[in-house]
Amino acid sequence: THTRKVKMAALTVSFAGKIGATAPRVANARAAGRVGAAPAVRGTPLRVKSASARVASRDSLRVAATATDAPLGVFKLEYDISKDDATKSADWNEPVIVAVSGAAGQISNHLLFKIASGEVYGVDQPVALRLLGSERSREALEGVAMELEDSLFPLLREVSIGIDPMDVFVDADWALLIGAKPRGPGMERADLLEMNGAIFVEQGKALNAVAKPTCKVCVVGNPCNTNALIAMENAPNLDRRNFHALTRLDENRAKCQLALKAGVFYETVTNVTIWGNHSTTQVPDFVNAQIGGEKAMDVIDDNGWLENDFTPAIQTRGGLLIKKWGRSSAASTAVSIADAIKSLVTPTPEGDWFSTAVSTDGNPYGIQEGIIFSMPCRSNGDGSYEIVDGLEINDWLRERIKKSEEELTKEAECVSHLTGKLGGACELVGEKADTMLPGEA
Which residues touch 279 (CB under 8 Å, ≥6 apart)?
223, 315, 404, 407, 435, 436
In order, the DSSP letters of 61-126 are: --EE--TTTS-S-----B--GGGS-HHHHTT--PPEEEEEESTTSHHHHHHHHHHHHTTTT-TT--
Phi, psi at 319, each rounded to 5°: -65, -40
| Mode of pairing for the β-strands spanning 174-177 and 216-219 | parallel
CB 407 within 8 A of CB 434: no
Which residues touch 291 (CB under 8 Å, ≥6 apart)?
258, 259, 262, 264, 268, 269, 270, 299, 300
Partners of 386 in beta bridges:
378
- Mapped onto helix, strand or coil, the DSSP state of residue 263 is coil
- Mapped onto helix, strand or coil, the DSSP state of residue 375 is strand
Q: Is the peptide bond before 223 cis (omega within 30 degrees of 0)?
A: yes
| Mode of pairing for the β-strands spanning 386-387 and 372-378 | antiparallel
What residues are annotated to the active site? Answer: 278
d(CA 244, CA 374): 9
Report which of 391, 143, 148 is spatially closest to residue 272, judged by C-alpha positions: 391
Report which of 209, 205, 216 is spatially closest to residue 100, judged by C-alpha positions: 216
Phi, psi at 219, each rounded to 5°: -95, 125
- Mapped onto helix, strand or coil, the DSSP state of residue 351 is coil
| Mode of pairing for the β-strands spanning 12-16 and 216-219 | unpaired
d(CA 183, CA 193): 9
Terminus-to-terminus CA distance in the chain, angstroms?
Answer: 49
Report which of 178, 186, 197, 235 is spatially closest to residue 424, judged by C-alpha positions: 197
